[in-house]
Chain A
Amino acid sequence: MTNREKQRSPLFEQYFGVKARYPEAVLLMRVGDFYEAYGEDAETISRALQIALTSKESGGGERVSMAGVPYHALDGYLAKLVAQRFVVALAEQMEAPVPNKLTRREVVRVVTPGTLLEESLLPSAANNFLACVAVLGEALAIAHADVSTGELAVTAFAGDSMQEDALAELARLAPAEAVLDVPFDQREPFEQILGQQDARVTRPGLGAVDGRQREPLAGFSLEESAAMHRALDALYAFTARSCLGGAEALREPRTYRAQTFMVIDPASRRNLELTKAIGSNSKATLLAAVDRCRTAMGSRLLARWLLTPLVERERILARQAAVAALVEQYPRRAALQEQLEGCYDLERLAQRLRVHRAAPRDLAALRRTLALLEPVRACADLPALAETVGGIERFDDLRADLERTLAEEPPPNLADGGVIRPDSSAELAECMALRTGARERIAALEERERARTGIKSLRIKYTNAFGYAIEIGTAHAASAPADYVRKQTLTNGQRFTTPELKELEFAIASAHSRQLRLEEVLYAQLMERVTADAERVLTTAQALAHLDVYASLAQTAGERGYVRPRIVDESRLAIVDGRHPVVEGLLGDRFVPNDLRIDESGHRFLILTGPNMGGKSTFLRQAALLTILAQIGSYVPAREAEIGVVDRIFTRIGAGDDLASGQSTFYLEMAEAAHILRRCTPRSLVVVDEIGRGTGTVDGLAIAQAICEYLLGMESETPIVLFATHFHELVELADEWPRVANYHVTAVEHPQRGGEPVFSHRVLPGSTNRSFGIEVARMAGLPSSVVERARSLADELLGRTPLEQAVPLRKNLARERADVPRRQLDFFQ
């Protein structure tokens, strides 16, 4: 073994030496015009990229597998590898290759799913987070960063529910990659939730954590702070290993408490389809329904808002005021959006500046966007937007520098030349003059040669491939002077060169390479200048993103007929003619609106009965979505709306059953119910769409009723509950509990088609025991013999054993719940 390795050629020694330091990655090493991989990595990429696998003599008669991609096509191949969740290490040549000497090569970048910077690899309208979870004693911290925007935030959890809360937070962030600094016995739930989100999971490298004592973070306990530092350190170590730099590559960490936002548990977020659709129509999300952002920065911010609605009334009202100002000022909104349309993704650009990976065209885009800031400021000159507009920094000097130095339309790469304006530097202008001078002499040479040879058709031509040449038509080619050296034969002529022409060509070329060197220096200076402003560019980007979101919400409100909800402190929901924002979008103006009325002291437990297909599920989701919209500061689809701030939304909705996890539907249903009962507060909104369906009717009804009674037994602590059920027996709860209101979705029988239900899609007070199940079965095409049989069986069953008898209503169950701990409502106080 040792012998054979010794015989390997230096290139392979180098490759496998580097590879040993990045075992987790596929190593692509620049060799000439290719990025190559050898051995196992070659086999991996040939499979993943569908490219040819060859082999190469590696010394000592051995051959090693080899695969490679051309350097100019790297981006496309990289995207494919990243999409397949590979980690890719890129090694570049660190010096100009010299024959017969091994070129020094080093890894300059490790591309992992959570550390993407390249616009071509990133989803434009979504954040791409890298998360770090650290458990330290009785505290748990999560740090998360979007490397493409430089954003960095950290939070901590403690107490009994610490793990559950942390999982919910991770689910909200949906990171592309996570570093788990978690004891072995606690890893499983984290790996499971990250696995569901297709995130890459890694562990911190050795030595990533330093044991220094550090200042506690404001608002967090010592133990929490220690965990947060640990999470941040692991995150910095990870970005450093990706060759992006550690702390200096990211903004100062922002600390936050998850409780300052409405808590939406992972199941609810999925079921409500806030930013991702469950079904085949990827546009069927709340985000798509309200997103009219003109920039990717805006779309990302809006998505974040939808996942973290506010719970502080003042902050909601401030956002609402900003949206309202633009709703009322159509011309300003339209003009503002017109300007935003032209704005580049400054957030990501600023970050590329910070990590020194900005290209010349990024700077040109920056210059264009900076020119739009003044018009944006003018359009957004409204009192309600003043604070946001204040975040738009002034860049007069930077703009002037860019105008003066950067070419009008720079080429994609510095090496192409022409990135710097020639008139910005005397030396550069000199190079230009040298070139122009040489070209004029070439033109003069043409004149002279024409006179000398007497050939009128003699021309000096330039082609990209062959440079300058004297071109003579075939007729005169024979009379070319002796000092002409033939360069190329054409169909209708010959091309020649002369020592003088060669000399002039060389003068042009050397002026050109001098120019390139100069431009490199000047560009580096310019980059340094621009990078110094990266932080201010980022601040500006965020202000633009906010304006974009406000304008987007204003546009949606105007075009879709939304109303500004009154945000109140009492726990209530009063919605007149509410509509489901997503379904309404799909149905146009055929959507049937409905009212909802929940009061603090009156009805707050709504039992909804009625037939399938009647619109129960839509109505329940609608209540949750309207609450979320209201709490991000948006208008809501309704004629009138009054919304008391909700701290958590829970949903128990059947659709998204997780078949992959291998757990039974019924088990999951019960787990979700258990979660709700454990965690709900008096300010929560609980939405239950059928419970107890996955088991026998008697068990199901019994469980459903017991859950209702438990929630009602919380008395003044009872959350707002919207409970849709098939168990008609539950409507009798209203007789016992004054907080219960019965609602039902209605249907009428079709006058011509006997008994067939026509759903009105309306939700009205009262109850119904007509489920129309058999009629629906008939409409769906069940054979008529089956339908008839079902009908007679139903009559029989109903006549014999009323379910109420099987499950007598118990009135005292809830009283046992006196020991329920009072929940902390700290943030409301």
Chain B
Amino acid sequence: MSGVGGISIHVLDARTIGQIAAGEIIERPVSVVKELVENSLDAGARRIRVEVEGGGIESIAVADDGAGILPEELPLALRRHATSKLAEPDDLFRIASLGFRGEGLASIAAVCRTVLLSRRAGSEIGARVSAEGESIGAVEPFAAPVGTRVEARDLFHALPVRREYLRSPGAEFTRISGWLSALALAYPEVAFTLTHGGRTVWSLPPAAQPEHRLAQLFGPAAAARMLSIEAEGAGLRVRGYVSPPSDDRANRAAQYLFVNRRLLRSTQLAAAWTQAYKGALMTGRYPYGAVLLDVDPGEVDVNVHPTKADVRFRRPALAFDLTKRALSSALERHAARQLGQTVLSPLPQRGLTPDVAIIDRSDPAAPPADLALRLAEMRAAAVADDRDGARTLRVVLQLANTFIVASDGRDLLVIDQHAAHERVNYERIAARASRGDDPVREPLLLPQIFELDHGEAAALSELLPQLESAGFSIEPFGERAFRLTATPLDFRVRAFDLRGFLDDVLGERAEGTFGPQSLWASLACKSAVRAGEALQVPEMEELLHRLFACGDPMHCAHGRPALLRWSERDLTHLFKR
């Protein structure tokens, strides 16, 4: 009898079994933190402190003020499938605690050098036990506050291959911090502290009200804008806080889902979230927040994944519907509130006549929030990158010398002339720069001489080489004085706003956000046609033609919308036909 390559089959030794099982649960440092913190929460902790060294690869310690473990039970706690959380076999199907398999500590002990220190209320002194692999040391008395502290050092010390899969300490720490701060959303009453290399990275006091935890994690301003959601039915309850459509992010990373306060990535519930916001946000932008689902433990199976990252609902459609309903109704309430404030009704009620300011954007610098919001309210579908449509575009009129109203016979389009032109300029500058072409300069007939204050003059002196390579010839011309003798040729020089451009560039520099892109964006913006400038129809047609040739015709270089579109279907819906 021989197995592969002539090696005989044998029963694996305990150490190997332990490592294999652990491998499913402990993938990286954050898994250690997860198992330990969940244990702490199950023990009723009100304060949890996580101390990390070297990204958690060197060491992780989790200390809590929970119930603690009796000295005689310490070695048992380290043994596989030992748990205090399930008493009867049937309990497995009614799991209320976060842990239940009795694998967490054992798995950690299998791959780390582990020390467990604990004291129960009423015990005079704490007790300590250390473990490495399958060998568990003797229990010894040790000073300790009530609660438990687990230290896990040298992750995967015996498994160098697994170690290689780990990222840098900084990256591993980021995962720990991200996971722990997300978990904290579901436990506002618990204080969390995270340290790295002895330094406190963040510390969350217990939140007097659940919303305060949001403020701790998203910042007071963003938290104040968030919408509260709430729905209940058929043994399920949804609660949480989500961003309004005016706030969004570039990815889904800050969408947190909890089922019975267990943080997980349920694709199913994520879909509910996406559907509820459909149309409210621009493509590529995502809402954020925390959605907490409380269900009867019998309604959900958490034992489907080794790291419990997903769950299975007994009635999946119910969970999905309830979540979506909670989100949708919060968004509707929000939209109604906004409507009440901004009196936005002319479009559906009064029809399209030139004297109606559909959107009054007399201030081009106004924040984009309201535009995105109106989009949301009107349930406009995001526009696909429909370049063919642009050819048949017909300019209908210029509104308030600011917006171009156009149609392709099917959809209604409103274009912000400044934003659109800025986009066109930006893409041209960026394309030229990426080709590495030298800019063509146009000497100014009359050089512009300007004097700046001390700070500005110093800042500009440093930027001269970069501006030079962008096509500006600027040279010192006196104390704090400069002379502009040439500008780049490839845009409308007549509209170029030098002072505004300098303010932009120096501002970006002061904030440390100055770079080629921001320089291009400023250039594009300051050389673009402004709001309030009257345009001829051919000019507008040319602008639209060029806009639709752009890689992203939807936004200006600063990310504000350049184009709004309503389809026939949208209008039908708006008119409630």
Write the residues of chain A forming the contact surface with B, with a CB cutoff of 8 angstroms.
327-332, 334-335, 338, 407-411, 416-418, 432, 435-436, 439-440, 442-443, 461-464, 468, 508, 512, 555, 557-559, 561, 588-593, 746, 748, 750-752, 758-762, 764
Contacts and interface: CB of A to CB of B under 8 A. Distances in A.
Interface stretch (B152-160, B205-213, B266-274, B388-396): B205-213
Contact of B454 (A416, A435, A591, A764): A416
B208 A751 contact: no
Contact of A588 (B49, B216, B455): B49
A589 B216 contact: no
A591 B145 contact: yes
B215 A592 contact: no
A746 B215 contact: no
Contacts of A418: 453-454, 480
A752 B140 contact: yes
Contact of A561 (B47, B454, B475, B483): B47
Given A588-B49, A589-B47, A590-B149, A439 B220 contact: no
Given A418-B453, A764-B124, A559 B205 contact: yes
Nearest to B447: A443
Contacts of A592: 143-145
A699 B344 CA distance: 92
A14 to B, nearest CB: 36
Interface string B445-461: 00101010111100000
Given A512-B479, A761-B143, A408 B51 contact: no
Nearest to A442: B477
B191 A439 contact: no
B455 A758 contact: no
Contact of A559 (B203, B212, B454): B203
Contacts of A588: 49, 51, 63, 195
A274 B404 CA distance: 69
29 contacts: A327-B208, A334-B219, A407-B454, A409-B456, A410-B454, A411-B454, A418-B453, A418-B480, A432-B451, A435-B478, A435-B481, A439-B477, A439-B478, A462-B475, A463-B476, A512-B479, A555-B205, A561-B191, A561-B206, A589-B145, A589-B149, A590-B149, A592-B143, A592-B145, A752-B138, A752-B140, A758-B142, A760-B141, A760-B143
Given A468-B478, A589-B64, A762-B143, 7 more contacts: A330-B215, A332-B220, A462-B477, A464-B479, A557-B205, A746-B124, A750-B141
B: contact size bracket: 35 or more
A330 B124 contact: no
Nearest to A338: B220
Nearest to B207: A330
Contact of B125 (A411, A461, A561, A758): A758
Interface in B280-337: none
Contacts of A409: 453-456
Contacts of B207: 330
B224 interface: yes
B445 to A, nearest CB: 10
B124 A558 contact: no
A761 B119 CA distance: 13
Contacts of A559: 191, 193, 203-205
A585 to B, nearest CB: 10
Contacts of B453: 407-410, 418
A443 B483 contact: yes
A407 B456 CA distance: 11
A593 B145 contact: yes
A418 B458 CA distance: 13
B483 A762 contact: no
A439 B479 contact: no
A443 B449 contact: yes
B220 A335 contact: yes
A462 B125 contact: no
A785 to B, nearest CB: 28
Contact of A331 (B124, B149, B224, B475): B224
A455 B400 CA distance: 52
Contacts of A746: 124-125
Contacts of A508: 478
A462 B478 CA distance: 6
Nearest to A334: B220
A302 B163 CA distance: 48
- Which A-B residue pairs are the 7 nearest by beta carbons? A558-B205, A409-B455, A760-B125, A589-B63, A331-B215, A331-B220, A330-B212
B223 interface: yes
B223 to A, nearest CB: 6
Contact of B449 (A417, A439, A464, A759): A439
B75 to A, nearest CB: 14
A764 B47 CA distance: 25
Which of B144, B216, B453, B478 counts the most A-chain CB atoms under 10 A from its CB? B478
A44 B142 CA distance: 60
Contact of B49 (A589, A750, A758, A762): A589
Contacts of A442: 477
B140 A750 contact: yes
Which of B142, B147, B205, B215 counts the most A-chain CB atoms under 10 A from its CB? B205
A485 to B, nearest CB: 20
Contact of A751 (B63, B140, B483): B140
Contacts of A417: 479
Contact of A330 (B195, B205, B455): B205
A666 B353 CA distance: 99
A329 B207 CA distance: 9
A342 to B, nearest CB: 14
A547 to B, nearest CB: 16
Contacts of A591: 145
B302 to A, nearest CB: 29
B208 to A, nearest CB: 5
Contacts of B205: 327, 330, 555, 557-559, 561
B212 A331 contact: yes
A436 B449 CA distance: 7
A473 to B, nearest CB: 16
A671 B58 CA distance: 52
A594 to B, nearest CB: 10
Contact of A329 (B204, B208, B223): B208
A759 B126 CA distance: 10
Nearest to B480: A418
Nearest to B193: A559
Which of A332, A440, A590 counts the most B-chain CB atoms under 10 A from its CB? A590
Nearest to A589: B63
Contacts of B455: 408-409
B449 A440 contact: yes
Contacts of B211: 331
Contacts of B454: 407, 409-411, 416, 418
Given A409-B455, A410-B454, A439-B449, A758 B140 contact: yes
Nearest to A421: B453
Nearest to B63: A589
B59 to A, nearest CB: 13
Interface in B457-480: 475-480
Contacts of B144: 590, 592
B98 to A, nearest CB: 20
A331 B191 CA distance: 16
Contacts of A332: 220
A321 to B, nearest CB: 15
B124 A762 contact: yes
A328 B207 CA distance: 8
A432 B147 CA distance: 73
Contacts of B49: 588-589
B125 A762 contact: yes
A570 to B, nearest CB: 28
Interface in B479-529: 479-481, 483
Contacts of B64: 589
A576 B447 CA distance: 78
Contacts of A760: 124-126, 141, 143
A328 B206 CA distance: 10
A746 B141 CA distance: 12
